[in-house]
Amino acid sequence: MDITVHERIRQDVADNPVVLYMKGSPVFPQCGFSAAVVQILSHLGVKFKGVDVLADPGIRQGIKEFSNWPTIPQLYVKGEFVGGCDIIREMYETGELQQILEQRGVPVRA
Amino acid sequence: MAMDAAMIERLIKEGLPDAQVTIEDLRGDGDHYAAHVVSGAFRGKTRVQQHQMVYQALRGRMGNELHALALQTGAPED
């Protein structure tokens, strides 16, 4: 793996409590799966950094290797990969997502 | 690029021989599937790990010729 890309990802997920690797931006998602996760995070009032992988082919490939996960979007909370669209949706529905966000000190709207 | 449901099922079962696999072609276009996979190998694994095991069975196809596969995984109930 490209060591610089790897380092940038490590830095990003270390510096920001919640990072979403996605297609498009939080305001203009360019894929339905990315849009679904943005919607969940917005609904929970969670502040997050969106990283548009379409704007950076290095990150687009690198994040898949970094997390050993083949698809976008990917959600990181406090440096740890939590899941892609299906998992986030499932966790949101069961309330687990809200729980792990709060456990890790990320404010969630009640 | 499309991939047929039987091929997805075969690959998953090659990787996870005890798996019960149900596949649904969501739009009838051979490109958007939902798969429900139940396997004893998932016991004690997180959801992320379970999905990673399925992706591994698909040997690099996920995210390439297989564009959309909504996954639901779990261990069999005793």
**A43 inside domain:** yes
Helix axes A96-103 and A85-94, enclosed angle (nearest 10): 90
Quick: pLDDT tens for A35-44. 999 999 999 9
pTM for this entry: 0.90
Using an 8 Å CB-CB cutoff, list chain B residues near A53. Answer: none
How far is the alpha carbon of A36 from chain B, nearest alpha carbon, in Å? 13
How far apart CA A58 and CA B40 sit, in angstroms, is 37
Quick: pLDDT tens for A26-72. 999 999 999 999 999 999 999 999 999 999 999 999 999 999 999 99
Using an 8 Å CB-CB cutoff, list chain A residues near B51. Answer: 69, 83-84, 86-87
Q: Which residue in this structure is represented by tokens 């940038």?
A: A8
Minimum-distance CB partner of A87 among B47, B60, B62: B47
Domain count, chain A: 1
**A110 inside domain:** no
- Full domain range(s) for residue A93: 3-103
Domain count, chain B: 1
How far apart CA A26 and CA A90 sit, in angstroms, is 20
- B68: domain CATH number is 3.30.300.90
- Full domain range(s) for residue B28: 5-74
How far apart CA A60 and CA A65 sit, in angstroms, is 9
- A80: domain CATH number is 3.40.30.10
Helix (H, G, I), strand (E, B) or coil at A29: strand
